[in-house]
Structure formats: structure tokens, C-alpha cells
């Protein structure tokens, strides 16, 4: 995990006004070079009836990372990192439904609310019997988010990302000891 995080962030420079969109675009460009295939992302609204907040779509010749639009930037970074980990670990099976959905998403011809059933099928493509994979993806998402925090535009109070009691509890549960270089 540390090696992948270091590889993705090595020498990555963003302007001081960088947003998560800027960060994700830079990381996708880096991953595209690293993987020798196109990696893109899209901020989308997932159906509120679903617990899905991110997807990695493995397509012929490219990867698409879909991240929930309606959440705070620090959570978007965790979701993005979670899906990146699944992508690098190959924890997804390519499928026709994914290709159809991704093509429609990329063309801007559908939002996820109108494709709710397809999204839920895609989200169910992986059996979460392997809790280890999910814990590892969560840990990597959190690691990447923590390492990216200094690259993002400060919020109004001067901090890089909002932190609240829930975030502190999650950090404690994951055994987080602070940023690690």
C-alpha cells in the first residue's frame, strides 16, 4: 500500500487552489502512464437508496472510477482511493453491463439515478465475501486521502479538510497514527 501510494504521489505538484477534481485528474494521468491504459474518473450522484458511493469500471482499454459527487472532498478522496486499490488489485470482473453503463456515463447521456438498476447490478458484481479485500481497499483509500490532504485547497477555516468526531473515530478504528511519508 505504501509503495503504491508513494508511486502515485511522487513528484505530483498541484496549484495551491487545487480541488479534488484537479487532484483526481492528475492521479488519473499518472495512473494512465503507470498502467499503459486510459484511467478516467467521474463525479456522479449514486441513487440514495443504494449504499454504493464509488465504482471501478473495468472496460476494454480503459478504467473508469466513479465517485459520489454529493459528499465532502475528504470522503471523495477516500472513495477514490478505495476504488484505485480494487483497480490495482484486479478485484473486478469486466462485463457487458459495465461497458454499457460506463459508455452512457462518459457520453453524459445518463445520470446514475436513471440507471439505478444497472448501477446496483454493477455494484453487486463482486461478492463481498472477502472482507479482507474491502478492509484493504478502505485502508488504502484512507492512506491516499491522508497523503493528499496537503495538496488540496484549504477550507475557510484554514484546515485542508474537515475533521469531525466521526473522522477521528474512524482514524482510531483504523489505527491511524498521523500522516506518514
* Predicted local distance difference test score (pLDDT) of residue 3: 93
Domain assignment present for residue 48? The answer is yes
pLDDT in tens, 125-142: 555 557 888 899 999 999
Give me 90's grid cell.
Answer: 484486479
Radius of gyration of the chain (CA): 16
> 1-49, pLDDT tens digit by residue?
999 999 999 989 888 888 999 999 999 999 999 999 999 999 988 777 7
- Using the predicted structure, report yes or no on whether residue 67 has a pLDDT greater than 50: yes
78 within domain boundaries: yes
Q: How far apart are the first and last CA of the chain?
A: 12
**Mean per-residue pLDDT over the chain, rounded:** 77
Whether 113 maps to a domain, the answer reads yes
Residue 181 lies in a domain: no
Distance CA 62, CA 149 (A): 27
pLDDT at 93 over 50: no
Closest CA to 38 of 16, 58, 11: 58
Looking at residue 52, its pLDDT comes to: 78
pLDDT of residue 5: 94
Beta bridge partners of 43: 67
In a domain, 179, yes or no: no
Number of domains, the chain = 1
Give backbone dihedrals phi and psi of 136, rounded to 5 degrees, phi first. Answer: -65, -45
Name the band, by pLDDT with cuts 50, 70 and 90, for residue 162.
Answer: very low
Residue 115 covered by a domain: yes
Q: Which residues of 9-30 are buried (b: 16+ CB within 10 A; e: fewer)?
A: beeeebeeebebeebbebbbeb
> What is the distance between the alpha carbons of residues 65 and 16, in angstroms, rounded to a whole number?
24
Is 45 domain-assigned?
yes
Q: pLDDT confidence of 51, banded at 50, 70, 90?
A: confident
Pick from 56, 18, 6: which is nearest to 181 by CA?
6
pLDDT over 90, % of the chain: 37
State which residues form the domain around 76.
2-173
180 within domain boundaries? no
Amino acid at each position: 500500500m505504501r509503495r503504491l501510494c508513494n508511486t502515485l504521489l511522487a513528484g505530483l505538484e498541484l496549484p495551491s487552489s487545487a480541488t479534488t477534481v484537479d487532484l483526481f485528474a492528475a492521479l488519473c494521468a499518472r495512473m494512465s502512464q503507470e498502467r499503459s491504459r486510459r484511467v478516467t474518473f467521474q463525479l456522479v450522484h449514486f441513487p440514495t437508496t443504494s449504499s454504493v458511493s464509488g465504482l471501478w469500471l473495468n472496460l476494454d482499454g480503459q478504467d473508469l472510477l466513479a465517485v459520489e459527487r454529493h459528499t465532502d472532498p475528504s470522503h471523495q478522496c477516500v472513495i477514490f482511493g478505495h476504488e484505485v486499490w480494487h483497480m490495482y488489485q484486479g478485484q473486478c470482473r469486466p462485463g457487458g453491463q459495465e461497458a454499457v453503463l460506463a459508455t452512457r456515463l462518459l457520453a453524459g447521456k445518463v445520470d446514475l439515478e436513471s440507471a439505478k438498476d444497472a448501477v446496483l447490478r454493477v455494484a453487486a458484481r463482486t461478492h463481498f465475501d472477502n472482507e479482507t479485500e474491502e478492509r484493504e481497499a478502505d485502508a488504502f483509500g484512507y492512506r491516499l486521502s491522508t497523503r493528499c490532504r496537503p495538496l488540496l485547497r484549504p477550507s475557510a477555516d484554514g484546515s485542508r479538510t474537515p475533521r469531525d468526531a466521526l473522522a477521528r473515530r474512524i482514524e482510531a478504528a483504523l489505527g491511524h497514527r498521523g500522516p506518514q511519508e
